[in-house]
Amino acid sequence: METFVQLIAAGLVTGTIYALIAAGYAVLYTATGFVNFALGAQAMIGGYLTYVFLPELPLIVRVLLAIVVSILVSVASWAFFYRQVAEKDMLSAVIMSFGFSIVMAEFVRIIAGGIPLPAESPFGSGVQQIGILSISNHSMAVLVVGIVLFAALALVFRSRGGMSIRAMFQDKEMAETLGIPTNRVVIGLFALSGVFAAAAGILTGPILSMSPHMGTSLALIAFVGAILGGLGRISTAIIGAIMLGLLETLFAGYVSQDYRTTLVFAVFILVLIVRPAGVFGSKTKVKV
């Protein structure tokens, strides 16, 4: 029982980090049909900015810097690269984001080296005992930050402005005629996804330690999570990613630590074959 509770908590923490990236995917996908694989690399850069590059600056400055850089990368890459390609061929744009994430990873590797670097949690190394569950301050922080960000996301999309954004998802031309500036909204959504990516990177650093290519696998696993729940809606993408975190942690705890990669990607293939729109997705086929 204790192991189970412990694993559930760990799974929720892992899942929340995946969900931050998955939320970024879904925000962009529902609006543009584009999947930005570079979100994982943006998370990685956010982590390096917070923990590795500028240790002399105060923490709050480093965190803000990480978020700002992630936003800038997000928006600029869309405005100057992805958008022009996505208009003609969406798949090329996605492959491009994959290439871009390699560029970022290699850039960081050249500056900081390829050896994984430990990162110290801003929340200290303390551990809290809640009943039979012992949970580190950092893990609690991950859950709290996750809940806050997801709640904020829900508020944004429930607000009047959010409604018009959702109208835009339904019908872009209609939105244009109603006077919703789709281009500016899309830029805003890219900025939003940048915030989520940076948060994921800052939170994951102390758990996994920092390495340049951590973003690539984070991006892929988060995508699997989003697909598992359904990429067509933000809520289902988040739930799917959390589910995947739980599944992965339980599998690692009870079955095999070695084969968790196999599990994750087997889940991916299975979902795509059995339910391409995700476990909670509507039956209408997701168009990519």
Partner 1 sequence: MTDTLSPATTGATGRRAPSAGNLLPIIGVVVAAVAVVLPILVDDFAFNYLMSYTVITCILALTMHLLMGLAGVFSLGQAAMFGAGAYAAVVIIGQTGIDGTLGLFLVAAVGAVIGILMGLVTLRTTDLYLALTTLAFGYIVENLVRNSDWLGGPQGITGFDITFAGSYLDEPKLLYWVGLGFLYLLIVIIMSVRRSKVGRALMATRESPIAARSIGIDTRRYKLLAFGVAGAFAAVAGGLYTAYALVVDPSVFGIDLTLSVLAIAIVGGLRSMPGIIVVAIVLTYFRNSAETFGASQYVLLIYGLLIVLTLRFLPQGLGGLLTSPRVLAATRSIRARFHGGTQ
> Least distance in Å: CB of 213 to partner 1?
7
* Shortest distance (Å) from residue 216 CB to partner 1: 6
Residue closer to partner 1 (CB basis): 167 or 272:
272
**Which is nearer to partner 1, 12 or 220 (by Cβ)?**
220
Report the nearest approach of partner 1 to the CB of residue 250 (Å): 18
Nearer to partner 1, 81 or 157 (CB): 81
Least distance in Å: CB of 99 to partner 1? 3
31 vs 227 by CB, closer to partner 1? 227
Give whichever of 84 and 159 is closer to partner 1, judged by the CB atom.
Answer: 84
Three-state SS letters, the chain: CHHHHHHHHHHHHHHHHHHHHHHHHHHHHHHHCCCCCHHHHHHHHHHHHHHHHCCCCCHHHHHHHHHHHHHHHHHHHHHHHHHHHHHHCHHHHHHHHHHHHHHHHHHHHHHHCCCCECCCCCCCCCEEEECCEEEEHHHHHHHHHHHHHHHHHHHHHHCHHHHHHHHHHHCHHHHHHHCCCHHHHHHHHHHHHHHHHHHHHHHHHHHHCECCCHHHHHHHHHHHHHHHHCCCCHHHHHHHHHHHHHHHHHHHHHCCCCCHHHHHHHHHHHHHHHCCCCCCCCCCCCCC
**Least separation in angstroms between CB 101 and partner 1:** 8
- Least distance from C-beta 172 to partner 1, angstroms? 20
Distance, in Å, from the CA atom of 42 to the CA atom of 284, rounded to the nearest integer, reads 31
Q: Toward partner 1, which CB reaches closer, 30 or 216?
A: 216
Q: Which residues bind partner 1 (CB under 8 A)?
A: 35, 81, 84-85, 88-96, 98-100, 102-103, 106-107, 109-110, 213, 216, 220, 223-224, 227, 258-259, 261-262, 264-266, 268-269, 272-273, 276, 288
